[in-house]
Amino acid sequence: MRLVNECFFTSEKLANFLFTLSNESYTFGSPWSKEQFKIDIGSEQSGYLILEEEKVVAYLCYHQFLDEMEIFNFAISPQAKRKGYGNFLLNRLNQLALAEQVEQIILEVRLSNKAAQELYLKNGFEIVSSRKNYYIKPCEDALVMIKKREARTKE
């Protein structure tokens, strides 16, 4: 497993990889189309953490706005689950957030996605609210989770 930068791919090729992985990983299919991925890859606010084995096996898409990051998409291929890749990507995002002096990381997660909720809670996120009927296909509520900036310890 290795962390790769999105600049190693053309936006078209990366959009195809991410769409395919999302379709395989999400219970209800990819939340974004290939075109939405392609547009997002070109956005200045977007960042992608991508894990590769022989192919792309996991990614985390986030946007940074001033002192806040938001996780927009996070997928791990079914064959790569339970290998610690989710923890790895969240830890890497936290390192980036600290370096960028981000105050908080926010995300929404399906109410039924207990495995993702457990991963986020284990990584310091807290449930702060819910959003009624946030998801479509099928319609479902979302939990809003936030991780506040960790205080740096003095050496």
pLDDT for 102 beyond 90: yes
> Structural domain of residue 84, as residue ranges?
2-105
pLDDT, one tens digit per residue, over 53-84 is: 888 899 999 999 999 999 999 999 999 988 99
Q: Which residues contact 139 (CB under 8 A, 6 or more apart)?
A: 133
85 located within any domain? yes
Residue of 31, 47, 20 lying closest to 135 (CA atoms): 31
pLDDT for 124 beyond 80: yes
120 or 53, greater pLDDT? 120
CATH number where 35 lies:
3.40.630.30
Number of domains in the chain: 1
